Structure 1
Amino acid sequence: MVLRDKILTTLLIIIMLLNTVDVITDYYLGIPMWHIIQESCIVLASAMGALYIIRESLHRRQHIEHLKNQLTLSHSQLAKASEEMQKARNDFAHAIQQQFGQWHLTQSEQDVALLLLKGLSLREIGEVRDTKEKTVRQQASSVYEKAGVEGRHEFAAWFLEDFVSP
């Protein structure tokens, strides 16, 4: 229960108790019935207000616990999905390396091929590998020839085709 709710509930209970004592005292003193009914309504309203605040506070607490449980479940599902994605990434990288082996790519050609798959331009690959763009272009041509494809797009499509086919 939030501090504000505790304070309001406490005040309503105090009002209820004080008015209950007043109603009982007024009844024994013979005060007119309309006055006793009026103060009894205050007692009843105070009790209902206190019960309402307590009920809503408990409902809110249950809802927060439910949300915490859902959050914990979501975190575990996310962790599991992340592990599965990492495994899939590793499996895909392994499959790519195996295919490079079947094509008998040299280590330099494999490096260029991976950077091509990552979308780097020939100039960028040259900068990354600290080689001339012409050398990268020749290595890329050798990769395409060994893979039996016409160019970069076919090369990338060779690896992605199974992921986008219905």
Structure 2
Amino acid sequence: MGERAQFNSLKLVAALLFASGIVLVIDVAEEFRIALRDPPNVGVGMWLHLGFELIASFGVAVAFFEIVRRMRLTVTELETETDRLRRLRGDFDRFVNRRFEEWMLTSAEKDVALLTVRGLRITQIAEARNTREGTVKAQLSSIFRKVGVSTRAEFLAQVLDEFLGVTTEPEALPNRA
């Protein structure tokens, strides 16, 4: 279950607990009012019943406040993750643009390379750039030559591996023996 679904589930449970707690507190208050009006005629069973209802009311209140606490934590975690993702996207964009400069890509090649990194197909890139597929293919060939790769997969691996600091050199790979 995703974080948003969990949060919505917690909201529903909190609302149900709150409503149940209100009903329980009203019930306990009314029973206490009745018991206090005529204490000598109230038996031990009734006082025991009221004691258990008070304990149950306390339990519902504790559960409600715990759920509210967890909801606040979930919101804080979501905000933290959103901020982290925003920073990572910014880091990635700066990294990609720096690499594009190092590879001496033209402005058009940078656009095509970025759209390629974002996963668009040649037809989608051509549509987005209002150009022909043949032009995009030629630009991709030029990009691949400048980067030193021969396929889209190698290009994407080059960009992502460098960004993530991954290497394919055998001596740098972990020993899995």
Pairing 1:21–2:47 present = no
4+ long deviations beyond 3 Å: 15-18, 162-166
- Larger displacement relative to structure 2 (117-126 or 89-98): 117-126
In the TM superposition, what whole-angstrom CA distance separates every residue of 1:101-141 from its partner, at most 9, and x where no partner exists?
00000000000001111111111111111001111110010
Secondary structure at 2:43 match in 1: helix
Instruction: Report the TM-score, using the length of structure 2 for normalisation.
Output: 0.74
Pairing 1:84–2:87 present = no
Q: Which has the larger radius of gyration?
A: 1
Secondary structure at 1:105 match in 2: coil
Secondary structure at 1:131 match in 2: coil
**What does residue range 72-111 of structure 1 map to in structure 2 within 5 Å?**
72-111=72-111
Residue 26 of structure 2 is matched in structure 1 by 6
- Larger displacement relative to structure 2 (98-107 or 67-76): 67-76
- 8 Å Cα contact 2:24/2:57 also seen in 1: no
Give the Cα separation in 2 of the matches to 1:59 and 1:145. Answer: 68
Any unmatched runs of 5+ in structure 2?
1-20, 167-173
Residue 121 of structure 2 is matched in structure 1 by 121
Give the Cα separation in 2 of the matches to 1:92 and 1:57. Answer: 52
Residue 45 of structure 1 is matched in structure 2 by 45
Q: Amino acid of the residue matched to residue 143 of structure 2?
A: V
Give the Cα separation in 2 of the matches to 1:155 and 1:148. Answer: 8
- 8 Å Cα contact 1:13/1:47 also seen in 2: no
In the TM superposition, what whole-angstrom CA distance separates every residue of 1:128-162 from its partner, at most 9, and x where no partner exists?
11001111110010000001111101000112225
Any unmatched runs of 5+ in structure 1?
23-41
1:10 Cα offset (Å): 2.2
Residue 139 of structure 1 is matched in structure 2 by 139
Identity of aligned residues (%): 26
Give the Cα separation in 2 of the matches to 1:58 and 1:102. Answer: 65
- 8 Å Cα contact 1:103/1:147 also seen in 2: yes
Give the Cα separation in 1 of the matches to 2:120 and 2:165. Answer: 22
Secondary structure at 1:150 match in 2: coil
1:86 Cα offset (Å): 0.7
- 8 Å Cα contact 2:25/2:57 also seen in 1: yes
Give the aligned CA root-mean-square deviation in angstroms.
2.1
- 8 Å Cα contact 1:113/1:140 also seen in 2: yes
- Larger displacement relative to structure 2 (6-15 or 99-108): 6-15
Secondary structure at 2:45 match in 1: helix
1:94 Cα offset (Å): 0.5
Secondary structure at 2:149 match in 1: coil
Residue 37 of structure 1 is matched in structure 2 by none
